[in-house]
Amino acid sequence: MTDLPTNFSIKRWPEGERPREKLIQYGAESLTDADLRNAGAIIDGGNL
């Protein structure tokens, strides 16, 4: 996910790569540091 534009909507991510879906399906231990940073950026500003 490193080559995405800064305004790339999380809704366009593959479902298996979305932090929320990973959390629900696999649990908190499945989330990477990048997942947590991306989720924080989305919560903070609405976009990546």
Give 1-48 pLDDT, tens digit per residue: 455 556 667 788 888 888 888 889 999 898 898 888 877 777 776 555
Query: What DSSP line would sit under 1-48, residue for residue?
Result: -TT--TT--GGGS-GGG-HHHHHHHH-GGG--HHHHHHHHHHHHHS--
Question: What pTM does this model have?
Answer: 0.59
- The answer to whether 48 touches 7, Cβ cutoff 8 Å, is yes
* Sign of the torsion formed by the C-alpha atoms of 11, 39, 16 and 23: negative
pLDDT at 39: 77
